[in-house]
Amino acid sequence: MKTRSRLTRRRFLTRTARAGAILGAPLVVPASVLGRGGAVAPSERIVMAGIGIGNRGQYDLGILLQEPDVQFVAVCDVRRVRRDAVKQLVDQSYGNRDCATTRDLHELLASRTDLDAVLIATGDRWHTPASIAAMKAGLDVFCEKPSSMSIAEGQELVAVARRYGRIFQSGMQRLSEANFVFADQLARSGRLGRVHTVHAHQLKFQMRRDWLPAEPQPPVEEVDWDRWLGPAPWRPYNAAYLRACGSWLDYYDFGTGVAGWGSHTICQCQSALGALATSPVEYEYPGNDDAHGLICRFADGTRLRLDAQGWPKPGDGGLWRGSCGVRYEGTEGWVSIADGYARPETSSPALLAEFDAVVREYQAQANRPLHHIRDFLQGVRTRRACVASDVVMHRTMSTNHVANICMLLRRNVRWDPVKEEFPGDPEANRLRSRARREPWGA
């Protein structure tokens, strides 16, 4: 909702009204334009576009299209099939053919002066460069996770958000889901006693360095391969990279290792510990290739343990059932939660009996909706930092990235979250950043 856009629309209505009066003809303005009958006036809508809208992006888009104060007007994607699919979805939702398409995000940002915000759901390698370009263009950003590829990228994103005064929300949606909020609140409120260990489910650590064999490259309008690669190192086209995120996620050039799943669960653990503005200081190499059992130790001695051996089935007696599980253990009890639970599991029925009260307590204290995209939209309007702000994203992603470095070096590392460096460890410090291919690095 840029002021210039709102004034332009109001001027239009005013001038139209005057023209109608001059001509002596009655002017009929639809109630929806004036914001009556529960509708949101166009001048008060948040005008948005999408960049890289695939499977996850279409999930987010489906939510945005249900929000009456959002107007989605354009989509940018390097793949024609996705551009067309999103346009069809948006046009069907609004009953028109107005959704614009492009394969060039810089063209989108330069040409659409009516935009207030963007949804970014590209592959991981594009998350930070696209977010930074959008914020420099004066837009607020909802960016899917993992929202950075390295510690240096996170630092850069935070600096740009601060410099340009932009609102940023990372797609760490479990920070806004009642079951996970309840578990976090049990830990934060002291109901579990002193929390000494938190467990984060994550996928097995993989960072492949090989290439798939070259295949004939499609026309640029069908797949803009150079832009698809973006800041990642060049490699020949192979259609398998495009089939699903799992086709590229395990490659070092495209993926984020531990963060592929840890961006969900490590963030949640740090939220439970009230540690969203810092990171652990010691990382203990687990002696394997998948990061299972890697211990991240905070300055106060609290342990964050990564669990990468899948999740157990009901009755297996494991930490949780389902994806993106976390478990918090304290001196007075524990809580476990993962996707698909009707309610969390707790060490005592008395803890679970407080579910509604604990969730209400959080909402009263935080003054936030249990709706991640709604939290972003409120941030756009109020300029209040979102629950998964740029700083929260960077600090929790730093934990992921340091864990990756621990695995890549196959040894223990120490991390200073204040100076954001590995004290006396030049080998580890060199891994805080990744080279970005020109000209797609910004």
Question: pLDDT of 142-160, one tens digit each?
Answer: 999 999 999 999 999 999 9
Q: Is the pLDDT of residue 55 over 80?
A: yes
Residue 205's pLDDT is what?
86
Q: Percent of the chain having pLDDT more than 70?
A: 88
Q: Of the candidates 122, 83, 117, which has an alpha carbon nearest to the alpha carbon of residue 99? A: 83
Mean pLDDT across the chain, nearest whole number? 90
Tokens 């994550």, located at residue: 202
pLDDT at 379 over 70: yes
CA distance linking residue 434 with residue 432, whole number of Å: 7
Say whether pLDDT at 21 is over 70. no
pLDDT tens-digit readout, 97-110: 999 999 999 999 99
What does the pLDDT read at residue 243? Answer: 83
Considering only 18-32, 336-350, 384-398, 413-427, which range has the smallest mean pLDDT? 18-32
- Strands (E) across 267-374 are located at 282-284, 295-297, 303-307, 326-330, 333-337, 345-346
Of the pLDDT bands very low, low, confident and very high (cuts 50, 70, 90), residue 32 is very low
Q: What are phi and psi of 106, to 5 degrees?
A: -70, -35
Residue 7 has pLDDT above 60, yes or no: no
Least confident of 51-55, 83-87, 203-207, 336-340: 203-207
Q: Is CATH 3.30.360 the right assignment for the domain spanning 175-206+257-368+390-432?
A: yes
Cβ-in-10-Å burial (0-12, 13-18, 19+) of 44 comes to middle
Does the pTM surpass 0.95? The reply is: no
| pLDDT confidence bin for 23, thresholds 50/70/90 | very low
The confidence score (pLDDT) of residue 17 equals 37
- pLDDT tens digits along 313-346: 555 556 777 889 999 999 999 999 999 899 999 9
Q: What is the mean pLDDT of residues 169-173?
A: 97
What is residue 19's predicted lDDT score, i.e. its pLDDT? Answer: 39
pLDDT average, residue stretch 28-57 = 75
pLDDT of residue 189: 95
User: Which of 273, 255, 275, 265 shows the shortest CA–CA distance to 391?
Assistant: 275
Q: What is the reported pLDDT for 318?
A: 64
Parse the chain into domains and list their residue ranges.
175-206+257-368+390-432
> Does the pLDDT value for residue 245 go beyond 80?
no
- When pLDDT is averaged across residues 194-207 and rounded to a whole number, the result is 92
Q: Say if residue 180's pLDDT is above 70.
A: yes
pLDDT for residue 311: 58
* Residue labelled with tokens 């899917």: 144
pLDDT in tens, 282-300: 999 999 999 999 999 999 9
Tell me the mean pLDDT in the region 11-39: 44
Q: Which pLDDT belongs to residue 24?
A: 45
Residue 326's pLDDT is what?
95
CB 349 within 8 A of CB 364: no
Confidence of residue 37 (pLDDT cuts 50, 70, 90): low
**pLDDT score at 42:** 80
**pLDDT above 90 covers what percent of the chain?**
79
Give the pLDDT band of residue 246 (cuts 50, 70, 90). Answer: low
Tokens of 352: 């679970």
Q: pLDDT tens digits, residue range 408-431?
A: 999 999 999 999 999 999 999 999
- Residue 188 has φ and ψ, to the nearest 5°, of -70, -30
- Which of 82-86, 185-189, 208-212, 241-245 is least confident? 241-245
Rounded to whole angstroms, the Cα distance separating 278 from 404 reads 17
